[in-house]
Structure 1
Amino acid sequence: MPEHTSVSVTDLRKSYGKRTVLDSLSLQVRRGSRTVVLGPNGAGKSTLLEIVSTLRAPTSGTVVVEGHDVVTHTRQARRLIGLVPQANALDPLATPREVLDFQGTVLGLGARTTRRRSHELLELFGLGEHRNTRVSKLSGGTRRKVDLAVALVDSPSLVVLDEPTTGLDPLARMDLWRELERLTSEGEVGTLLISTQDLHEAEVLASDIVVLREGTVVAHDTPDALKNLVGERTLTLTLDSPETTDGLVETGRAGFRTEPEHPTTVRLALPRDPAVLRAALDDIGAVAASVEGMRLADPSLDDVFAALAAG
């Protein structure tokens, strides 16, 4: 496995009877990245994360985490992985301190190391005032921080998060995003592997994006590279009348198009051909006196998802 790779997936297949969930899936997760996995329902996101996390065995293929095969060296791989599952699994009657102490004991860290690590994590996540509060009394966002703290007890190289902000209110979601960004920037976490259906979450968190469709990888790159792959910058003009708008669309040479619900608005995907771009500028110059508004927009992850995941 290359030195810069945290997770290596090769020809991974997972079937349940005649139903194939993952099909010849190959993937390299860059060490130190925040890799977000996108895809529609049924694309295989959760199954992929469960196999990487050693919770589910593949039908065929290999998954190697930091040099350890998750099937043949499950115990070694598991010690390198921290998991934040989609559903909160904390004991509602326990306190955050008790939950962390229990996790340290299960991992065999020893009493002194467990106490020290629990204290560090409670302080790291600002949970000190809640250390002795029952989990059932905590807010959803605070419980999610406890989930994340539990995943970090043994200082894993890889943290896997399956739909980490599901069910959280907008403020709690943004708070957790900030925590994840801080943890990676301060070196508390090496690599994040995140599954989400929230495109804004992916926009905020991802250094790398993997797009799944029907159990296989259809794209894997940085957010900016994927946006450039599926779309171009779009210029939107608001003109002074529907007549001016219609005239620009009919006589323009660069492919202006109208928005039926906004009769004074035209859009243009900025061409890369210099000659076509000059023609577009000439067309706009001809109606410059009628321009009342102008907006330039980059391609979004919505465009990426529509073109690749749902295409």
Structure 2
Amino acid sequence: MVNDISVCVAGLTKRYGERTVLDDVSLEIRRGGRTVVLGPNGAGKSTLLEIVSTLRTPTAGSVVVEGHDVVADARAARRLIGLAPQSNALDPLATPLEVLEFQGVVLGLGKRAARRRSGELVELFGLGERQDTRIAKLSGGTRRKVDLAVALVGKPSLIVLDEPTTGLDPLARIGFWAELKRLSSEGGPRTLLISTQDLHEAEVLATDIVVLREGGVVAHDSPDALKSRVGARILTLTLDTPESTHDLLDAAGAGFVAEPDQPTTVRLALPGDPAVLRAALDDIGAAASSVEELRLTGPSLDDVFAALATPTTPLEKEPA
């Protein structure tokens, strides 16, 4: 429904001379979701986010954020957007509190309101002990928290993050992911639009994924839906002896196959057919005394990304 859409992109094209960076991109971003944009280098991810954020103007097409065209009504759209760019642009000699108060004044809050809002964000992100420390002396994870806090000063309904955890250590990244998930679920519907090349980050954060290649959208769906389109779940059994494995393969009704070079391991692709699953359960039951390990695995976003790397991909077109 229209009321569920935060960002509507229609026929978006961006050219620099003869080079086309975005080519007739159309998509809708759900309000309250965490939409992650994936794609190889040069696919147009940053350009898409910059146009949505009113930092660049399109060659053709339109972007509407919460009912406001980002070109014709850029000022109104900008008030609804909080941007955390890939490169840290904070004044290294300022403190988090100073940066936040300055951003509030820039946004027209007035000094008193800016100070109050800054205090709220310092508390929200646990920056109290560092609020008067110069940015240059903060850790990368803390600086990234300040980046996000700055993006939230104006209480935006859309938060745009370009490569949000680049350069952070693993613990800082995990903490930052938790902050993003909390932000999207607290304080009313808040939409996150995130660009990343980290597939694990996408796996953790995304409720929706947009995949770009060569300036076009080749897939837009939930993570689970994309995974199901590139492969089936795999059921793997490890049995106690090669003889038990041979007996199972002889008697199996579900189409188990031997794993090369592993004489006690068999695998079965589960395409979603209930009859195949029932047959597999019957086979496992018959061989239960010989089964030492059972694993059920599914395709990952790595598989999705690999499938999209070649021109002849099953995700080339959205399903009808």
Per the alignment, residue 232 of structure 1 pairs with 232
SS in 2 for 1:3: helix
Cα distance in 1 for residues equivalent to 2:198 and 2:289: 41
Deviation at 1:105, TM superposition (A): 1.9
Contact 2:31 2:189 in 1 (8 A): no
Q: Structure 1 105/296 Cα, relative in aligned 2: closer, same or farther at 3 Å? A: same
Contact 1:86 1:162 in 2 (8 A): yes
Cα distance in 2 for residues equivalent to 1:273 and 1:243: 29
Specify the code of the residue in structure 2 equivalent to 1:96: P
Per the alignment, residue 207 of structure 1 pairs with 207
Return the TM-score normalized by structure 2: 0.88
Contact 1:39 1:211 in 2 (8 A): yes
Cα distance in 2 for residues equivalent to 1:182 and 1:270: 35
Cα distance in 2 for residues equivalent to 1:258 and 1:132: 63
Cα distance in 1 for residues equivalent to 2:68 and 2:286: 64
Specify the code of the residue in structure 1 equivalent to 2:174: M
Cα distance in 2 for residues equivalent to 1:23 and 1:211: 13
Structure-to-structure mapping, 1:87-166, within 5 angstroms: 87-166=87-166
Deviation at 1:149, TM superposition (A): 0.4
Deviation at 1:22, TM superposition (A): 1.2
Could you report, residue by residue, the CA deviation over 1:186-230 in whole angstroms, capped at 9, with x for unpaired residues? Answer: 216611101112222122211222122222222222222223333
Contact 1:38 1:309 in 2 (8 A): no
Cα distance in 2 for residues equivalent to 1:113 and 1:28: 34
Specify the code of the residue in structure 1 equivalent to 2:305: F
Contact 1:92 1:136 in 2 (8 A): yes
Q: Structure 1 78/254 Cα, relative in aligned 2: closer, same or farther at 3 Å? A: same
Q: Structure 1 244/214 Cα, relative in aligned 2: closer, same or farther at 3 Å? A: farther
| Greater displacement, 189-198 / 172-181 | 189-198
Q: Structure 1 112/277 Cα, relative in aligned 2: closer, same or farther at 3 Å? A: closer
Per the alignment, residue 61 of structure 2 pairs with 61
Cα distance in 2 for residues equivalent to 1:2 and 1:24: 21
Specify the code of the residue in structure 2 equivalent to 1:122: V
Structure-to-structure mapping, 1:170-209, within 5 angstroms: 170-187=170-187, 190-209=190-209
Q: Structure 1 152/25 Cα, relative in aligned 2: closer, same or farther at 3 Å? A: same
Deviation at 1:285, TM superposition (A): 5.3
Deviation at 1:274, TM superposition (A): 4.4
Contact 1:158 1:189 in 2 (8 A): no
Identity of aligned residues (%): 75
Cα distance in 2 for residues equivalent to 1:266 and 1:76: 60
Q: Structure 1 123/273 Cα, relative in aligned 2: closer, same or farther at 3 Å? A: closer
Contact 1:117 1:153 in 2 (8 A): yes
Cα distance in 1 for residues equivalent to 2:189 and 2:97: 21
Deviation at 1:88, TM superposition (A): 0.9
Contact 1:249 1:257 in 2 (8 A): yes
Return the TM-score normalized by structure 1: 0.91
Cα distance in 2 for residues equivalent to 1:170 and 1:7: 31
Specify the code of the residue in structure 1 equivalent to 2:140: G
Contact 1:183 1:189 in 2 (8 A): no
Per the alignment, residue 316 of structure 2 pairs with none
Per the alignment, residue 24 of structure 1 pairs with 24
Specify the code of the residue in structure 2 equivalent to 1:196: T
Per the alignment, residue 43 of structure 2 pairs with 43
Per the alignment, residue 33 of structure 1 pairs with 33
Cα distance in 2 for residues equivalent to 1:18 and 1:247: 64
Deviation at 1:288, TM superposition (A): 4.3
Per the alignment, residue 3 of structure 2 pairs with 3
Cα distance in 2 for residues equivalent to 1:47 and 1:258: 47
Contact 2:15 2:22 in 1 (8 A): yes
Deviation at 1:100, TM superposition (A): 0.8
Cα distance in 2 for residues equivalent to 1:258 and 1:49: 47
Specify the code of the residue in structure 1 equivalent to 2:117: R
Per the alignment, residue 292 of structure 1 pairs with 292
SS in 1 for 2:159: strand
Per the alignment, residue 167 of structure 2 pairs with 167
Segments of 5+ residues of structure 2 without an aligned counterpart are 314-320
Deviation at 1:254, TM superposition (A): 4.1
